[in-house]
Structure 1
């Protein structure tokens, strides 16, 4: 069984529509895929509908990647199988999402001050109907030839955390986020906790404290973790009794990583589904629909 528990669609900053993502996941030989767009569940309905027309079985895990910050350091929390209509968590996700446009506009203005010929109209075109974010701004900079790649924009020179054009956004306290996800019947996993190439990361003591507060797991096998980092995180998870996941963090053509490049052990996936009470995985018809 091949399981990828971290992907994005055009509902946030991926380049595949939710339906395309389901088709591409089936073509990649996945059995289970989680759709975890940033701070939104807007792509779930389209993804669920697309499952019915796939030529093979594919199960969808509904989720979201929630923007958090601790002591000024941004971090992301993967939330799986929560009730998307639970009022408290929904309200906080809407606050984060609604702050994305003014934050992105402020970053565009700062980039213009730095000499980049970027416009808000260009960024809005790239984002389309998705929740606008830094990857859309990075894509605009690539189009303009300011940087060669999307990852090249995520530097201190441009839009990395603390970079010259970086603007902070509304983010949840991660302890609050863990509590809200659990109250909504979901399971929480700390996404790429040691991705130092993205900027500052929280100390491992924070992971210990989050585990004590109810965090379920940490994402270990990820493109931004090298071998020694994965081993260290695996050891930390064992000490703290946390689940360990692996996933692609797929964004379509916006990143080089492929679907299923990193995967989650089926036993871990089974434990996630056993802990969740807010929603259930959605199985596809696998070509059997009459």
Structure 2
């Protein structure tokens, strides 16, 4: 897609002619429970017109999602990058959604590979800690259940459920389990480096759920100001983990900084209760993302 290309047409959805756009979802390529092919089919069945596939630190789901994309669904290829802000002690983890970047950009490819390898090491260490305390789960079985995706804590949570240790994913993430006692830090990407790498690869970086206090500490507005100057394009406001007050705060900050605002389900299948399309992005913000990207194009019925 050249700089002069315009966004492809988006078919109207079933909400008064406005397209339904969900820009944050996960498949079995990372920690979702639907395969990329099943995810794009489910998105169309849910009445979505545009879907972004944003698995954690990988583009492995792009090809199968592309091959299975149903008529009428526009596919935005992306990833959710595991990042960290080192400007405070202890450092704060955060997530960056990168849209429409070149998946062959050398620096970005190398960094994502490093993060995925670190996730594997971290996952195996967490399982070893659980086993040392008498919890009967098996790392090899968890790897098989992950179906080729990089193992994350949701995969370990499912193993705990299968072992009868906890009843639900939410319980698995309480402080007695993966939320604190058996939680280890990840080897993430410096957030300024992540923004630069996504931009360098022709992509568009948007910060995911920046005010989700229910997830833990959040970064100050001053950091988002600095990131905007460094190339951050937008903020995700409509998200299941944002309260109404937090959503309003994100929208207000984005307005002050001239950033686009997105809304997304952050769908993970049965790992979470949120539905596809539970939160959506406006057409103007979507068009700004597509117009700003030069890495890969969106995939529409014209392709």
Q: Under TM normalisation by the shorter chain, which class is it? A: over 0.9
Q: Which runs of 5+ in 2 are unaligned?
A: 1-18
Partner residue in 1 for 2:291: 274
Quick check: 1:42 aligned with 2:60? yes
Partner residue in 1 for 2:79: 64
> For each residue in 1:232-276, what CA deviation from the matched residue of structure 2 results, as whole angstroms up to 9, or x when unmatched?
111111111111100000111111011011000011000000000
SS class of match (1:147):
coil
Q: Please show how residues 3-82 of structure 1 align to structure 2 within 5 Å.
A: 3-51=21-69, 54=70, 56-71=71-86, 72-82=91-101
> For the Cα contact (< 8 Å) 2:101–2:204, is it kept in 1?
yes
TM-score (norm 1): 0.93
| Cα distance between partner residues in 2 of 1:224 and 1:95 | 28
Partner residue in 2 for 1:174: 191
Query: How many angstroms does 1:285 deviate by?
Result: 6.7
- Alignment partner of 1:242 out of 250, 259, 273: 259
| Cα distance between partner residues in 1 of 2:234 and 2:161 | 35
Q: Please show how residues 140-155 of structure 1 align to structure 2 within 5 Å.
A: 140-155=159-174
Report how many aligned residue pairs link the two structures: 281
| Cα distance between partner residues in 1 of 2:270 and 2:83 | 25
Query: How many angstroms does 1:167 deviate by?
Result: 1.4
| Cα distance between partner residues in 2 of 1:123 and 1:153 | 15
> For the Cα contact (< 8 Å) 2:240–2:274, is it kept in 1?
yes
Q: Which runs of 5+ in 1 are unaligned?
A: none
> For the Cα contact (< 8 Å) 2:212–2:246, is it kept in 1?
no
Distance of aligned partners of 1:76 and 1:141 in 2 relative to their CA distance in 1, 3 Å threshold: same
Over the residues paired in the alignment, what is the CA RMSD in angstroms? 1.4
| Cα distance between partner residues in 1 of 2:218 and 2:172 | 18
Query: How many angstroms does 1:87 deviate by?
Result: 0.5
Quick check: 1:132 aligned with 2:151? yes
